[in-house]
């Protein structure tokens, strides 16, 4: 499932994938794969991303079960 919330938060912070990747200590490919829904990040990485973007886990990684099945 694509993570548009993360992408929106990143753009809102005026960050590109490379900058976010560097801030949380991963590669740009990993951020790209999280956004496109091809990789499930660990809880630690989720928290690091939330810290950088000033959001909560709910804001970026929670979706209603009805949305998840889409």
Partner 1 sequence: MMEKTNTTWKERASEKILRTVPHDERISAVNNQGMAYCGMAAFAYVVIRLLYCGIKGAFALPEFVLLMLMAYILLHNARKNGICNLPVIMGKTLNPDKKAVWSRMGLYALDAAIFAACFALIMLLQDHSVAGFLLSFFMGFFMDFVFQMAVKEPVVRKYRKQQEMLDAEENDMT
Residues in touch with partner 1 (CB under 8 A): 4, 7-8, 11, 16-17, 27-29, 32-33, 35-36, 38-39
Whole-angstrom distance, CA of residue 61 vs CA of residue 49: 10
Q: How far is the CB of 69 from partner 1 (least distance, A)?
A: 20
Q: Give the nearer residue to partner 1 in terms of CB position, either 18 or 51.
A: 18
Q: Which residues contact 21 (CB under 8 A, 6 or more apart)?
A: 27, 28, 30, 31
Least separation in angstroms between residue 23's CB and partner 1 is 16
| Rounded least distance, CB 48 to partner 1, Å | 19
| Spatial CB neighbours of 30, under 8 Å, sequence gap ≥ 6 | 21, 39, 41
């Amino acid at each position: 499932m694509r993570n548009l919330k993360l992408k929106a938060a990143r753009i809102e912070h005026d960050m590109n994938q490379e900058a976010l990747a560097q801030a949380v200590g991963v590669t740009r490919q990993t951020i790209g794969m999280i956004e496109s829904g091809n990789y499930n990040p660990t809880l630690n990485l989720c928290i690091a991303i939330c810290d950088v973007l000033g959001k909560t886990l709910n804001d970026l990684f929670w979706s209603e079960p009805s949305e998840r099945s889409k």
